[in-house]
Amino acid sequence: LASCRLFSKDYRVFAPQNLSDAEAIKQLYRSEAPEYFNFASDVLDKWSEMEKDGKRPLNPALWWIDGRGEEVKWSFEELEMLSKKVAALLSEACGLQRGDRVLLILPRIPEWWLFNVACMRAGLVLIPGTIQLTAKDILHRLQASKARCIVTNEVPAPAVDSVLSECHSLKVKLMVSESKREGWLSYKDLFRAAPADHRCVKTKSEEPMTIFFTSGTTGSPKMVEHSQYSYGVGHTVTGRCWMDLTPSDVMWNTSDTGWAKSAWSSVFAPWIQGSCIFAHSMPRFEATTMLETLSKFPITTFCSAPTVYRMLVLQDFSSYKFKSLKHCLSAGEPMNPEVMEQWKTHTGLDIYEGYGQTETVLVCGTLKGMKIKPGSMGKASGAYDVQIIDDGGNILPPGTEGEIAIRVKPTRPFSLLTHYTDDPEKTASTLRGNFYITGDKGIQDEDGYFWFVSRSDDVISSSGYRIGPFEVESALIEHPAVTESAVVSSPDPTRGEVVKAFVVLSESYKSHDPEELTQELQEHVKKVTAPYKYPRKVEFVEQLPKTISGKIRRNELRKKEWEKA
Ligand code: ATP
Ligand code: MG
């Protein structure tokens, strides 16, 4: 039933063909989840059938390159066959049972996608982790999640072994590598022997599918649990209305495999739409490799973090031509209008911003066809009733700053986290009145556009004014001396706290007199934004502290400021 109702003929998987986007989305997100749902059998295998019937263009499901000549292209049919083998090896050779948790720490290699799909098939709860985790991080993740199995390669394996005696739930270690290691099962050997006739587990819609650790921007990463239906269907708005994907598109999202963003943009949203997921193994960020890749391959849709765009716009674009590129997206942090403008100058394309969390699907976005207001994160996506509320849970009128919140009463949206795993207190702390609160502050304007102010903890209160760091950072980056900046509160004897900017200078300004430059930047900010926001303190730094996923850790800078005082 689920699949018939959800899968319609014209590639609009989860929404009827005869409706406009807005109406179809409204119906989908207001409807209840069916009793059973599994993304592998209800979506991916349906695309595989469509492919066999000649009803999908000849566009791979996964297209992976390593930049040194290696390439993998899988159709949905191949993805089905290969992931069935991996599901069989997890259930049979590894002895894992439905509901067991699997920590997956792999770089961007094709097998990462196979394990994603195989876990769905076998009813295993997937916990992705970045390859950059240290032994301490891995210990924390294994203990907190009580994972029964770890899948990784030779790089983190010694770290895993070093903490093994403290991880009592871990029973299976699987190595995805050419090399072998004592105490570890070899994926390659098991894969060869695995049967290809695995029968997908009939999972209930509300059954857990995945646990993500959040980015850890504001503290230690939290475990966010999602049901089978949550991301599996919830990302329809993400793929259809924000990314504007169809089965002919080739989508490249650059985020690391360890974060929810890769599930959003490198698994669910594109595959719901039947698009091709493009991936470059790229172990380290290289601006030139990215631009070369965008010009060499028929990538139509590109998604990256603002921090990446900030580096890309500094490059010389004269030797690149992006023949296929038509839609660019950014999410994860606020996008500076100045960077959007530079990107447009270089490529002729706008950047469509999306706002969401590990806990959610797309909350707000500049959706297809929508007028972009630079600096705004667009309108509510349609997956939720999004409101700005006050401390008492009351809806605030347009133009008023408050907490960005999602209505959960009387009906909790299916595309929201189930809970923070094993943390009922934290789960309860995100509820206020009829709403789930995001922990972010924002404003909705008269036209329904949302404007991000800051994370609730990052707001600066100076002399009675409330100042969001992003506006000051966006003002600073308009000055040619500034490559990047982070704005935080700093203690001040008379004002309580004042605005302080940590600034990374562009090469040509590094030799300038710091005092003069400070004054120049202060005058600049006073000119381009309300003068009370200007940074009374400026410090020039070589780099900013960031999470592994590239987000600025303002709380670290703020803590140092206050400790110093
Ligand atoms: P942690 O919860 O561990 O501190 P995190 O909140 O950074 O980390 P994620 O779930 O990856 O973890 O990020 C979601 C957050 O990222 C949002 O709550 C918001 O603060 C920020 N964010 C995402 N997209 C945008 C955007 N377009 N504009 C502004 N902020 C954004
Ligand atoms: Mg968060």
355 lines ligand 1 (CB under 6 A): yes
| Residue pLDDT, tens place only, 240-293 | 999 999 999 999 999 999 999 999 999 999 999 999 999 999 988 899 999 999
What the block records as the tokens of 238 is: 């993400």
Asked if the model's pLDDT at residue 1 lies above 80, the reply is: no
Give the pLDDT band of residue 216 (cuts 50, 70, 90).
confident
pLDDT of residue 10: 40
pLDDT of residue 14: 56
Nearest CA-CA partner of 125 in 99, 90, 143, 150: 99
Give the pLDDT band of residue 363 (cuts 50, 70, 90).
very high
pLDDT of residue 2: 37
Burial readout 98-131 (b: 16 or more C-beta within 10 A, e: otherwise): eebbbbbbbbbbbbbbbbbbbbbbbbbbbbbbbb
For residue 332, the CA-to-ligand 1 centroid distance in Å is 5
Mean pLDDT, residues 550-555: 91
pTM: 0.93
Rounded to whole angstroms, the Cα distance separating 89 from 93 reads: 5
404 lines ligand 1 (CB under 6 A): no
User: For residue 232, what are the CA distances in angstroms to 3, 120, 247, 415, 553?
Assistant: 12, 10, 17, 9, 30
Of 167-176, 207-216, 358-367, 458-467, the one with minimum mean pLDDT is 458-467
Closest Cα to atom 31 of ligand 1: 333
Rounded to whole angstroms, the Cα distance separating 442 from 458 reads: 12
Of 101-105, 390-394, 419-423, 490-494, the one with minimum mean pLDDT is 490-494
For residue 421, the CA-to-ligand 1 centroid distance in Å is 19
pLDDT of residue 4: 37
Residue with the bigger pLDDT between 530 and 14: it is 530
- The answer to whether 146 touches 223, Cβ cutoff 8 Å, is no
437 lines ligand 1 (CB under 6 A): no
pLDDT of residue 153: 97
| Residue pLDDT, tens place only, 104-115 | 999 999 999 999
551 lines ligand 1 (CB under 6 A): yes
Residue 155, Ramachandran bin (φ over 0: left; ψ between -120 and 50: alpha; else beta): alpha
438 lines ligand 1 (CB under 6 A): yes
Residue with the bigger pLDDT between 14 and 341: it is 341
User: For residue 176, what are the CA distances in angstroms to 112, 117, 379?
Assistant: 10, 16, 42
ipTM of the complex: 0.99
Judge residue 181's burial from the number of C-beta atoms within 10 Å of its C-beta, 0-12 exposed, 13-18 middle, 19 or more buried. middle
Closest Cα to atom 16 of ligand 1: 332
For residue 224, the CA-to-ligand 2 centroid distance in Å is 10
Query: Residue 489's beta-bridge partner residues?
Result: 499
Closest Cα to atom 30 of ligand 1: 333
For residue 185, the CA-to-ligand 2 centroid distance in Å is 35
For residue 329, the CA-to-ligand 1 centroid distance in Å is 15
| Residue pLDDT, tens place only, 42-81 | 999 999 999 999 989 999 999 999 999 999 999 999 999 9
Q: Which atom of ligand 1 is nearest to the CA of 455?
A: 20
Closest Cα to atom 17 of ligand 1: 357
Give the pLDDT band of residue 16 (cuts 50, 70, 90).
low
Judge residue 446's burial from the number of C-beta atoms within 10 Å of its C-beta, 0-12 exposed, 13-18 middle, 19 or more buried. exposed
Mean pLDDT, residues 140-163: 97
CB atoms within 10 A of CB 46: 17
